A and B are shown apart, each in its own frame.
Chain A
Amino acid sequence: MKTADIMRLKRNFEVTFQLIDGQAYLLKQNIVFKLNDIGVEYWRLLDGKHSVSDIVQELTERYLLPAEKLQSDVQSFFNSMLEHGMASPAEKRSMQPVG
């Protein structure tokens, strides 16, 4: 397994997920990403707990998609989110909220 596969990303707080008339968008200042259905799932799973491999595993089972295709798709999504500052590598937090 490559390092990239086990990397975990966390959504950046300054990015807003917004549903407008059933279409999902990510908004960050002047950057807008339009998300398709599976993109929404990727974004939801950028919670700092799921690696590329975890996401591939979860979505392969749920959507019955080929793992290889999904792997490259999720990796591209990770790269794109990192490149545009939409997400950051997950770190341990000291002030954990309830629940």
Chain B
Amino acid sequence: METPDVQTIFNNFKIDKRELLNMVSVEEGDLAYISGSIVEGFGNPYSDLDIFVIKKTIENVEAQFIKDDFRIRIIVINNTRFDVEYHPMDKVLRYVSLTQQFNPTSHEEMDRLNLDIIDFLHRLRIAIPIYGEQQLKSLQSAISLENLCACLKNWQMRTYNSNLMDCKGMLDINDLDTCVSWARQTLCNAVDVCLAVNLDTNPSEKWRFRKLERLLGKNSSIYQNYQTYLLKQVPEYQKKEYIEEILTFASDLVLNSQLQTWR
């Protein structure tokens, strides 16, 4: 699960770097990078390549999708479609600065550094430059990893707590099938807390097994239990007990993950 180098990625997609830079209209002072699951080492044959261009202003960028603060242009190279995201530099700097100023006790700041922004910053943090290498390095080193993960952990804890309460309610009214599926979801949230505490900034649910494997290995008891609890067939008479087991395991995981960094 190694991060491939940029040339290997371009070869796999049959991309010529100069042609790409020309097609995405990169100019002096811009920053362009690739990111996403392929760059992170989680790619598969159907994964797409995320291409980002950061410009001083995006007002003049011709694009198919125009949102408030970003644009998406679709380009086709050798019959392969690429979605290129354009973002203004002042927004990116503001996002980076949010991580530097983040106060973990403030709910207001947590709402400002939301999961979409965390996802954007994660992609920026792992990005490989294709234009403006030094600029990218400066931005990457300016991201406060500790605060980014503290904020992500708070988001994951919020979801965990909310889902846990739902499970309790489902148990109380004996809605066991719903509760089994929701207890599994709550365990997933506990794993997300564990990952964030261990400085994994990727908020995507898609790669939970891969991220856990990268962090602890497939043979770790946490990985093994997570897999067992998630995939196990549960007979009707064991459902209540199973729900309590899975939630106890999730609760212990949340406790022990946080205690790693305590004092």
- Could you say which residues of chain A place their CB within 8 Å of the CB of B161? 16, 18, 27
- Could you say which residues of chain B place their CB within 8 Å of the CB of A29? 165
- Could you say which residues of chain A place their CB within 8 Å of the CB of B262? 19, 22, 24, 40
Closest Cβ neighbor of A14 among chain B residues: B168
Shortest B99–chain A CB gap in Å is: 16
- Could you say which residues of chain B place their CB within 8 Å of the CB of A95? 238, 241-242, 245
Shortest B238–chain A CB gap in Å is: 7
Take A27-B161, A93-B245, A95-B241 as given contacts and tell me if A17 and B255 are in contact as well, using a CB distance cutoff of 8 Å. yes
Q: Is A97 touching B251 in the complex (CB atoms < 8 A)?
A: no
A-B contacts, CB under 8 A, total: 74
Q: Is A16 touching B254 in the complex (CB atoms < 8 A)?
A: yes
| CB interface residues, B 219-263, toward A, < 8 Å | 220-222, 224-225, 228-229, 238, 241-242, 244-245, 247-252, 254-255, 258-259, 261-263
Residues of B whose CB lies within 8 Å of any CB of A are 103-105, 154, 157, 160-161, 164-165, 167-168, 220-222, 224-225, 228-229, 238, 241-242, 244-245, 247-252, 254-255, 258-259, 261-263
Q: 16 A–B contact pairs at CB < 8 A?
A: A11-B255, A13-B244, A13-B250, A13-B251, A14-B165, A14-B247, A16-B251, A17-B258, A18-B258, A19-B258, A37-B263, A40-B262, A95-B238, A97-B221, A98-B224, A99-B222
